[in-house]
Amino acid sequence: MKTKTFLTVSLCTAAMAAALMGEVRAQDYSKYSEKALQTELATNADSSLSVLVPMRDGIGLSTNIYMPKDATGPFPVILWKTPYNEHKIKGGTLRYALQAVDRGYAFVVQNERGRYFSEGKFEILGKPQTDGYDTISWLAKQDWSNGNVGTLGCSSSAEWQLALAGMDHPAHKAMVPMSAGAGIGKVGRFEEQGNWYTGGVPRNLFFVWLYGVDNPLRAQLPSGLDQETRTRIATYNDLATSKPDVDWTEQIKHLPVAEMLKDLGEPEGTFEDLISRTPADPAWKEGGLYHEEMGWGVPSLWFNSWYDVSIGPNMELFNHARTAGNDQETRDNQYVVVAPEVHCRYNKLGPDSVIGDREMGDTSFDVDGAIFSWFDRWLKEDKTAFPDTTPHVQYFTMGENKWKSAEQWPPQKAEKIRFYLHSEGDANSLYGDGALSTTKPSSDEQPDSYIYDPLNPVQTIGGGDCCNGGLVIPGPADQRVIEARNDVLVYTSEPLDNPIEVTGFVDAVLNVSSSAKDTDFAVKLVDVAPDGTAWIIDDTIQRARYRQGNDKEVMMQSDEVYTIEPTPMTTSIRFDKAHRIRVEITSSNFPKFVRNLNGGGNNEMETDSIVAENTIHHDAEHISYIELSVIP
């Protein structure tokens, strides 16, 4: 049975069950204006605003509660926690609130501590192990609650859920984390510390994000105000800051990196704390990140995207939860949907989709129907709402432009196939002689070298990214402008005689050398159409000093060859007949990643750069290749 059939059965069953219980199903609010949505919420919901929910340390978190109007409880509860300004609920959160109350749920929106009307000092991810736990305890005890709480949200509103899942709160019955990668510290082969790093290389997006979110000088209401006064103040204030606009295309080049925000006049805050750490700093274990040793206690319906910030860690964590769950029920009830979209754009799935610059056909998927069927199963205890027959993995295969399903990730029938790098020593640029094939290299193949100048980095075009002030537009994009550079090595297969579907993790193994003590090696997987368009599929990067692990800094010697294995890329793509598979290798991907200045010191505190000659070896003794997860 195909994926859409499974989903249709699931949603039809849920609808029939709801009708038997006399519930009113939610309207389609996708076409409503913001004003119409606000009016509808006022009509359909009883609201309690700016309620201070007490935490164990005495801090109160500002919480808005929306319940079905004139309905008799108790209600199952859906919690949406956020660092953003949603006291006046809006956008996607507003639509979910309306759907929730229409379906008989209480919908709760809470600001993280230190944000807007919540008390305390902002701490990234909002202390999920304590604030999240205490909030769920409070919600479960209210007389209007049936004691079953689910958590929902995308991006920051999903990331805090992960560490909370490790706490296994008895009232936390189900969760829907969407695009939650920045909540992962270490899991399996990925140790990105909330996507702060990839392969030990810092990502620039968080520098931009923290400028907008972190505010050490924020205004707060005085403590001791009664609830009525707080609510009244909140009706005509939002405590939002309006910081000066920044030309990030220039500011992101600032050296040293660690003073990027200080240069804007910002007081010292979260950025300075995080940028001073190494990838294995013990301080990463003290915040709100989820780490693999924490266990997993909550049935989960995951939503991820191929062009999101961290599809690899997300899928690794999905697999981890299926094996590390605290009990069999939790392990058996992990489901994932992977869309061909960018960060948190699940509402854009539909007919005639264009993602980035690439047509994807019909990407339709009833995301909201699946979410509320999931909550009906666990919060209303209706086991028919989300059947056990639902595939555990539902994913969109790009190129073929089709939804598919499997019971594990990668699919059980996937096979590992290696494509080896070849050249006669001149793979430089699109016009070189770099080749990619399943034939192993001979002993006389010559290495490929290029010059990496940190002050003239290779530009990021497309790929997986978000939240970066417009520095990178994520999604599929043509890479030929990049491939024309002489400091980019390009290895391309012959046109395919038959389609090849790659679904799963994609590993790269490179044998490298450098004139520098330390440098980076960036790898990109590309789908080349017959007309030459070179679509980025995914990319990865590795800082050479961390090639033996993030807890070991080992510099390079100029006369030695080293093997590096970047963290895997992750995708589902059909390379069609007459298409070609391509791999790009260089030493920068900027502004997505911080540039390595090649000096071997504390890179983020340095201002001077060194030009390096970097080399990829691919002879019989030093094999370099990518390993694809291929569906026969």
Res 436: pLDDT:
98
d(CA 376, CA 386) in angstroms, rounded, equals 8
Q: E strands, 413-519, where?
A: 415-422, 435-437, 448-452, 489-492, 500-514
Predicted confidence (pLDDT) at residue 186 exceeds the cutoff of 80:
yes
**List of E strands, 41-183:** 45-54, 60-68, 75-82, 106-111, 145-154, 172-178
- High-pLDDT (> 90) share of the chain, %: 83
Q: Does residue 23 register a pLDDT over 90?
A: no
Does position 126 have pLDDT exceeding 80, yes or no? Answer: no
> Could you read off the pLDDT of 614-631 as tens digits, one per residue?
999 999 999 999 999 999
| Local structure of residue 88 (DSSP, 8 states) | S
pLDDT above 70: residue 2: no
- Residue 229 pLDDT more than 90? no
Q: 602 Cβ partners below 8 Å, 6+ apart? A: none
Burial class (CB in 10 A: 0-12, 13-18, 19+), 111: buried
Rounded to the nearest 10°, the torsion over CA 501, 506, 507, 513 is 90
**Span of 15-19, 80-84, 420-424, 516-520 with lowest mean pLDDT:** 15-19
Please give the average per-residue pLDDT across 517-526, as a whole number: 98
Which three-class secondary structure string do you get for 378-439? Answer: HHCCCCCCCCCCCCCEEEEEECCCEEEEECCCCCCCCEEEEEEEECECCCECCCCCCEEECC
What structural domains does the chain harbor?
Answer: 3-200+279-406 (3.40.50.1820), 415-631 (2.60.120.260)
Phi then psi dihedrals of residue 319, to 5 deg: -60, -40
What pLDDT score was predicted for residue 64?
95
pLDDT at position 25, please?
A: 53
Task: Say what the alpha-carbon torsion angle 96, 97, 102, 107 is, to the nearest 10 degrees.
Answer: 120
**What confidence tier does 13 reach under pLDDT thresholds 50, 70, 90?**
very low
Instruction: Find the farthest-apart pair of alpha carbons in the chain and give their distance in angstroms, rounded.
Output: 81
Q: 15 falls in which pLDDT band (50, 70, 90)?
A: very low
Question: Quick one: pLDDT at residue 219?
Answer: 79
3-state secondary structure of 451: strand
Name, of 57-61, 93-97, 179-183, 609-613, the range with top average pLDDT: 609-613
**Residue 197 tokens, joined:** 């790093």
How confident is the model at residue 3, as a pLDDT? Answer: 37
Q: Which residue has the tokens 């805050």?
A: 269
> DSSP state, 131?
I
pLDDT digits (tens, 9 = 90+) for 45-54: 999 999 999 9
Tell me the C-alpha to C-alpha distance, in Å, between residue 501 and each of 95, 195, 493, 575. 37, 28, 15, 6
Residue type, 86: E
Asked whether the beta carbons of 422 and 435 are under 8 A apart, the reply is yes
Q: With residue 69 as reference, give the H or E element that holds it.
A: none
Q: Which of 375, 348, 387, 335 is nearest to 99 (CA)?
A: 375
pLDDT tens-digit series, residues 422-435: 999 999 999 999 99
- For 299, other C-beta atoms within 10 Å of its C-beta total 24
Quote the tokens at residue 444: 């006389």
Q: String of b and e for 305-337 (b: at least 16 CB within 10 Å)?
A: bbbbbbbbbbbbbbbbbbebbeeeebeebbbbb
Tokens of 314: 């997300």
Rounded to two decimals, the pTM is: 0.94
Which residues are within 8 A (CB) of 324 and not within 5 positions of it... i.e. 6 or more apart?
A: 292, 295, 296, 331
Distance CA 136, CA 607 (A): 47
Cβ atoms within 10 Å, residue 495: 13
Tokens describing residue 62: 């500002």
Band of pLDDT at residue 26, cut at 50, 70 and 90 = low
The enclosing H or E element of 629 equals: strand 625-631
Distant-in-sequence, close-in-space partners of 544: CB < 8 Å, separation ≥ 6: 512, 514, 518, 519, 520, 521, 556, 562, 564
CB-side neighbour CA atoms (13 Å) of 595 = 27
- Mean pLDDT within 590-608: 97
Q: Could you identify the residue written with the tokens 């027959």? A: 389
Euclidean distance between CA atoms 74 and 509, whole angstroms? 56
> Any idea what DSSP says for residue 113?
T
Helices (H), 276-354: 311-324, 328-332
What is the Cα–Cα distance from 511 to 624, expressed in whole angstroms? 6
Mean pLDDT of 570-576: 98
Q: Let me know: does 200 contact 543? Beta carbons within 8 Å.
A: yes
Q: Which of 153, 156, 137 is nearest to 145 (CA)?
A: 137
Read off φ and ψ for residue 519, nearest 5 degrees. Answer: -160, 175
- Measure the CA–CA gap between 116 and 619, rounded to whole angstroms: 59
Confidence of residue 97 (pLDDT cuts 50, 70, 90): very high
Interatomic CA distance for residues 10 and 370, integer angstroms = 8
132 DSSP 8-state letter = I
Phi, psi of 224 (to 5 degrees): 90, 0
The answer to whether 256 touches 606, Cβ cutoff 8 Å, is: yes
CA dist 377 and 52 (Å) reads 30
**Mean pLDDT throughout 531-547?**
98
Least confident of 3-17, 78-92, 261-275, 333-347: 3-17
